[in-house]
Amino acid sequence: MSTDTTPTATGPFAWFHTLGRNGKRAFVGAFGGYGLDAYDFQVLPLGLVAITAYFGISQGQAGLLNTVTLVVSAIGGAVAGILADRIGRVRTLVITVITYAVFTVACGFATSYEMLMVFRALQGLGFGGEWAAGAILVAEYCKPRYRGRTIAFVQSSWAVGWALSVIVYTAVFSFVPPDTAWRVLFWTGAIPAVLVFYIRRNVEDAPKADEGRATSTRKGSFREIFRAPLGRTTFFAALLATGVQGGYYTLASWVPTFLKTERGLSVVGTGGYLTLLIGGAFAGYLTGGHLTDRLGRKRTFTLFAVLSALLIVVFTQIPAGGNGILLLVTFPLGFSTSAIFSGFGSYLAELYPTDLRGTGQGFTYNFGRGMGALFPTAVGFLATTMGVGGAMVFGALGYGIAVVALLGLPETKGVELR
């Protein structure tokens, strides 16, 4: 599905100008939804040290909070994919944003570890579904030559949301006692609800997506994405997503704890390192998007999988007293582990036809998220004997899995959505 009827444009932002008015509105809605999705996810890792102390839980139990979120998000993403094919991309986007906002706020009212886990799991339903709906919505407005970088810009909003969460975390924990600060951090998760008003009033599905949904007899069918000729694609795409997200969520879940407990950094010091990590992530999203359009999807995935694995090992194994070297590695680490994500939105959209795109993309990406969720928990339990830094090396294994998965997938650079 191409949008070649939109005006031509040149320059570094040609990808945006060629979206057309409705495509630009869809971009804004998806960008905001994913950025605030990141914000609501990151408040847990940022408050994890305080939460661990408040409820008196082990590091393994702390890691389980992230794992439960990600596992349930896999279910949410798969369901959202079906909904996107059945009731539309925009309506699904609204439902997912409301879901993750409501239950993030609820986490701040938890009176026990078990209650926090339940609320966090329910938050995962919306967290998992938002990306599937938003990425497909924008992909269906894009010209093929710009699809990689356009979706990469949407994904760069993760770094924006992450940065916002670090700013709020630094402010809240600087002025509010830790026992209360983690609750306040969760309560700020109400912010995404404001975005719903914009989406409902200004964003609509691409016309050809509406047409395909109206005429298809197999929309929203898990059975179809596992049948030939899509079954092989579904298997390897899910494996790719598992590897990349296993590596990434190891980093996202444990870096704040690593910096505080093993590097001895204060709240402000941790915020400084995270700011550098996020700056690298933002640059990585944008650069990776351009590379997926120039080098191709598979070459870009392979390049950054190798770099990410190497940099995780280097980052976590720098000797005590080497925080200056740690600082130098932080930006490249954020860059590589985020650049690899830039190709996901376009690549998965290109692997599936319109009437199964939501189901295929929602299932594969979020299956990978659910399986990748096992990595943070494994790190939490391994940390009791190896230390957080030593256990985080386990995340490098995920990137090896990703490289293997690419052997079973086709290159889709420049293809028309069908």
Q: Which two tokens stand for residue 219?
A: 């929309």
Smallest CA-to-CA distance from 310 within 239, 246, 399 is with 399
Residue 159 confidence (pLDDT): 81
Grade residue 255 by pLDDT with cuts at 50, 70 and 90. confident
CA–CA gap between residue 150 and residue 412 (Å, rounded)? 16
Q: Are 255 and 316 in contact (CB under 8 A)?
A: no
Q: Are 191 and 99 in contact (CB under 8 A)?
A: no
For residue 179, is pLDDT > 80?
A: yes
Per-residue tokens: 367: 């299956």
Which two tokens mark 5? 């009827």
CB 67 within 8 A of CB 376: yes
Least confident of 175-184, 334-343, 367-376: 367-376
**Per-residue pLDDT at 252:** 76
- How far apart (Å, rounded) are the C-alpha atoms in residues 168 and 181? 10
Single-letter residue type at 237: A
Please list, residue by residue across 295-316, b when 16 or more beta carbons sit within 10 angstroms of its beta carbon and e when fewer do. bbbbbbbbbbbbbbbebbeebb
Q: What is the pLDDT of residue 5?
A: 46
Q: What is the residue whose two structure tokens read 């407005």?
A: 141
Choice between 318 and 98, residue whose per-residue pLDDT is larger: 98
| Distance, CA of 198 to CA of 36 (rounded, Å) | 14
Compute the distance between CA of residue 214 and CA of residue 223 in angstroms, rounded to an integer: 19
Give the chain's end-to-end CA distance (angstroms, integer): 5
Q: What's the pLDDT at 10?
A: 61
Q: Choose between 313 and 131: higher pLDDT.
A: 313
- Do 39 and 191 touch, CB atoms closer than 8 A? yes
Structure token digits, residue 338:
């985020």
Give the C-alpha distances (Å, rounded to integers) separating 312 from 160, 188, 241, 399: 22, 31, 18, 10
Residue 2 has pLDDT above 60, yes or no: no
**Domains assigned to the chain:** 19-195+222-406 (1.20.1250.20)
* Element holding 338 (H helix, E strand): helix 323-339
Per the structure block, which two tokens stand in for 198?
Answer: 């914009």
Distances (CA, A) of 201 to 38, 90, 127: 23, 11, 22
Other beta carbons within 10 Å of 5: 6
Q: Over 80: is that where the pLDDT of 319 sits?
A: no
Whether the predicted pLDDT of 3 surpasses 60: no
What pLDDT, on a 0 to 100 scale, did the predictor assign at position 372?
84
307-322 mean pLDDT? 84
Cα-based distances in Å from 355 to 75, 83, 369? 20, 11, 23
CB 223 within 8 A of CB 366: no
Number of other residues whose CB lies within 10 A of the CB of residue 269: 14
Mean pLDDT calculated for residue range 295-302: 93
| pTM across the whole model | 0.75
Stretch 117-123: mean pLDDT: 93
3-state SS, residue 408 = coil
Q: Is the per-residue pLDDT at 261 higher than 80?
A: no
Tell me the mean pLDDT in the region 277-295. Answer: 87
Both tokens assigned to 238: 């899910």
Mean pLDDT of 126-139: 83
Give the pLDDT band (50/70/90) at residue 209. Answer: low
Over residues 363-409, the pLDDT tens digits come to 998 888 888 878 878 888 888 788 877 788 888 889 999 999 999 99
Rounded to the nearest integer, the mean pLDDT of the chain is: 85
- The pLDDT, as a whole number, for residue 218 is 63
Distance CA 413, CA 112 (A): 49
- Label residue 185 by pLDDT band (50, 70, 90): very high
User: For the ranges 32-36, 173-177, 239-243, 317-321, which has the lowest average pLDDT?
Assistant: 317-321
Q: Is it the case that residue 229 has pLDDT exceeding 90?
A: no
pLDDT in tens, 143-168: 888 888 888 888 888 888 888 998 99
Distance of alpha carbon 237 from alpha carbon 249, whole angstroms: 18
Segment 5-26, tens digit of pLDDT: 445 556 667 788 888 889 999 9
What's the whole-number mean pLDDT along residues 271-288? 84
Closest alpha carbon to 18 in 2, 33, 1: 2
Instruction: Write down the pLDDT at residue 115.
Output: 96
pLDDT greater than 80 at residue 256: no
